[in-house]
Structure 1
Amino acid sequence: MIPALQQLFAHGTTKGKEQMGAMHGESRSILVVGLGRFGTAAARTLGELGEDVLAVDKDPMIVARWSGNVPVMEADLTDPLAVEQINASHFDAALVAIGDSVEASILATGNLLDAGIPDVWAKSVSHQHTRILQRIGASHVFRPETDGGKRVGHLLASRFLDYIEIEGPYSVVKVLTPSSVCGQSIANAQIRERFGVSVIGVKNPGEEFQYGSTDIVIRHNAELIILGAQKQIDRFIES
């Protein structure tokens, strides 16, 4: 949850990156498989957040192109021997970002799971692809285009500043403070009791981000991160 909250309030400053890295604690070793636009962006971001990253692609031209940006190696991880040669079992987590071949994605994911990596994330391009990745044991399966489209739809159809969907009927959103709670503390405004939403964080104008303790006074034009069901969130921002 914390990295997502930090992303919602991110300003792109060096200070912000240092704080985010500190919140992660000790860095993990993460293997990124596939250096398309998505995999490259993920690998670079992980590196900026202080993680120990190795990016792998089977295309020597792609490897050469990105060799100055992230630690990179040429290997085809659809081959179990290649997985063994790079000591994949020593990594804490892996991200399979292969999007141009469903077969290669499934084989690479399966090989990394067989190697004993405990946390394997995989990119999917279809519902059927998702089902297979889930069945072979991928820890997290995501569809960037579908997930991104849902997020943009929510932003266009609402007054949200940002939106994160989580398990079940709940979402985490960033909104501007409704007039009904301006100038009040979270406790005095009785936000949870009146609307059923929880205030996770507050960023008052000109101040640093604060977690949502009940004594924080919410100012006009403050940005709030709240957790709740869609109807509860709508009721709150319309108050």
Structure 2
Amino acid sequence: MEDRINNSVLVVGLGRFGSAVATTLDDLGKEVLAVDKDPELVARWSALIPTVQADMTDVMAVEQVGVSEFGSAVVAIGDSVEASVITAGNLLDAGVTDLWAKSVSKEHARILQRIGARHIINAETDAGKRIGHLVSSNYLDYIEIAGPHTVVKAHTPAHVAGMTIADAKVHDRFGIVVVGVKGPGREFEYGANELVMHRNDELILAGPQRQIDRFLAQQ
């Protein structure tokens, strides 16, 4: 019973963000139930994922859905701050502790945080920052972890091409870590000291962004 609860996720809101979250979780093998008050959205997605029509700002609807049976919940409502906050509050009151909620502004995020939402997602801001970093650099991909720390995917810079991670002294010289290497036509390999970094390899780098940029820009 506990394993089933831990593996189950309730997604409230079937807009573009919510439907993407729900279908991705379903593809990953999670037990998902998507909820929306719009019957057209429910009908649209019902053939792909389990869905139910309900207004989760209504406490009675929350009880009928059986929120307590879910290990996590995602509030993906973006068209109404009021509905988002009330829904998040109702889910928290019903016993959901691992609550993810989409915010559309700093004020919205602040309210969600104050009522107890554990994870606040600003999808547009996060996506905008990521694209900005990708456009303005040689990154192939970019994930912000916390503060100045990031995980970046980039091609091997010329100054270390053909060298092992140990010989290049990546950590000692630049204060970053080569998490792994993916070469063309080769499987991903974890960043062992003896691993050679070839010019067309994709490196997964972790550390302060300034240090990663310095490593990639080194001549």
Q: Is the pair's TM-score, using the shorter chain for normalization, greater than 0.5?
A: yes
Q: Is contact 2:183–2:198 with CA below 8 Å preserved after alignment?
A: yes
Residue of 35, 42, 49 corresponding to 1:63: 42
SS in 2 for 1:166: strand
- Which of 167, 188, 201 lines up with 1:209 in the alignment? 188
In structure 1, how many angstroms separate the alpha carbons of the residues matched to 2:195 and 2:117?
40
How far 1:38 sits from its partner (Å)? 0.8
The residue that corresponds to 1:190 in the other structure is 169
Q: 1:80 aligns with which of 43, 59, 69?
A: 59
Cα pair distance change 1:89/1:27, threshold 3 Å = closer
Name the SS for the 1:199 alignment partner: strand
Q: Does residue 104 of structure 2 align to residue 125 of structure 1?
A: yes
Q: Which has the higher strand share?
A: 2
Q: C-alpha deviations, 1:131-174, integer Å up to 9, x for none? A: 00011111110111111111111111111111111112111111
Matches within 5 A, 1:24-63: 28-63=7-42
Query: Matched residue of 2:32: which SS?
Result: strand
Gaps (5+ residues) in structure 1? 1-25
Contact 1:27 1:50 in 2 (8 A): no
**Equivalent residue number for residue 147 of structure 1:** 126
Are 2:6 and 2:70, in contact at CA under 8 Å, matched by a contact in 1?
no
- Asked whether 1:107 is paired with 2:86, we answer yes
Give me the whole-angstrom Cα distance separating, in 2, the residues matched to 1:124 and 1:32.
Answer: 15
Larger Rg: 2
Superposed displacement of residue 27, structure 1:
7.2
- TM-score normalised by structure 1 residue count: 0.87
Corresponding residue for residue 77 of structure 2: 98
Distance across 2 between alignment mates of 1:150 and 1:233: 17
Deviations 1:75-101 (A, max 9, x none): 111111111111101101011000000
The SS at the match of 1:208 is coil
Summarize the Cα distance change of 1:27–1:90 in structure 2 as closer, same or farther, 3 Å threshold.
Answer: closer
Q: Answer yes or no: is 1:172 the counterpart of 2:151.
A: yes
- The code of the aligned residue for 2:15 comes to G
Residue 209 of structure 2 corresponds to residue 224 of structure 1: no
Identity of aligned residues (%): 60
Ranges of 4+ aligned residues in structure 1 off by more than 2 Å: none
Query: Does the Cα contact within 8 Å between 2:6 and 2:72 map onto a contact in 1?
Result: no
Aligned residue for 2:17, secondary structure, equals helix
Query: Structure 2 length as normaliser, TM-score?
Result: 0.94
Assess, with a 3 A threshold, how the Cα gap between structure 1 residues 160 and 70 changes in structure 2: closer, same or farther.
same
